[in-house]
Amino acid sequence: MEPKYQLIVKVPDGVIVRDRPAPQARGANKMRAEPVGKSLMAYTIVNIGGVDYAGLIPQNPLKPEWVRVAEADHSIEYVEVIPLSGESNGNSDIANALNRVADAIKGLKK
C-alpha cells in the first residue's frame, strides 16, 4: 500500500483509530487514539453512509486501521486531508485549490 494522503489530526480530543470504517455503535473496535497534530498516512478515503473514512497505512499489515475524516454534515472535521504530490496528472493541484476556496466560503458562513 502506497500512501496517497497525509492526514493531520485537527480536533483537540484527537481521533480514534478503529479496525474498520464504522462507529463503535456498529461494532468497530478501538485500536488506539492519536493526539491533535499527529500526522498519519492513508492509502484511501471511502464514503460509507455519508461519512468519509480514511484507510491508514497500518502499523501491523495484518490489522487494518481506519479513522473518521469528518461528520456526515461536515460540522466537525477530525483530520485535514492533504493529497500527496504525484498522485495524479495535475488534478490534485486543482482539487487543493477548490478545497481551499470551499473552506474559505464555509468559514464565511459561520
Q: CATH number of the domain that 9 lies in?
A: 2.30.30
- Can you read off the three cell numbers belonging to residue 56? 491508514
Domain count, the chain: 1
| Any domain includes 25 | yes
| Any domain includes 20 | yes
Domain that holds residue 39: 5-85
Q: Which residues neighbour 94 within 8 Å (Cβ) at sequence distance 6 or greater?
A: none
Question: Where is 102: in which H helix or E strand?
Answer: helix 91-109
C-alpha R_g of the chain: 14
Confidence at residue 74, expressed as pLDDT on a 0 to 100 scale: 84
Q: Which residues neighbour 84 within 8 Å (Cβ) at sequence distance 6 or greater?
A: 3, 4, 5, 6
Q: Which has the closest alpha carbon to 65: 33, 35, 38, 37?
A: 33
Q: Which has the closest alpha carbon to 79: 43, 26, 110, 41?
A: 41
| Any domain includes 105 | no
Q: pLDDT 10s digit of each residue in the chain, 110 long?
A: 799 999 999 999 999 999 999 999 999 999 999 999 999 999 999 999 899 999 999 999 999 999 999 988 888 999 999 999 754 445 556 666 777 777 777 777 65
| Any domain includes 58 | yes
Confidence at residue 72, expressed as pLDDT on a 0 to 100 scale: 85
| Any domain includes 9 | yes
| Any domain includes 104 | no
Confidence at residue 54, expressed as pLDDT on a 0 to 100 scale: 97
| Any domain includes 22 | yes
Whether the predicted model's global pTM rises above the 0.85 cut: no
Confidence at residue 86, expressed as pLDDT on a 0 to 100 scale: 58
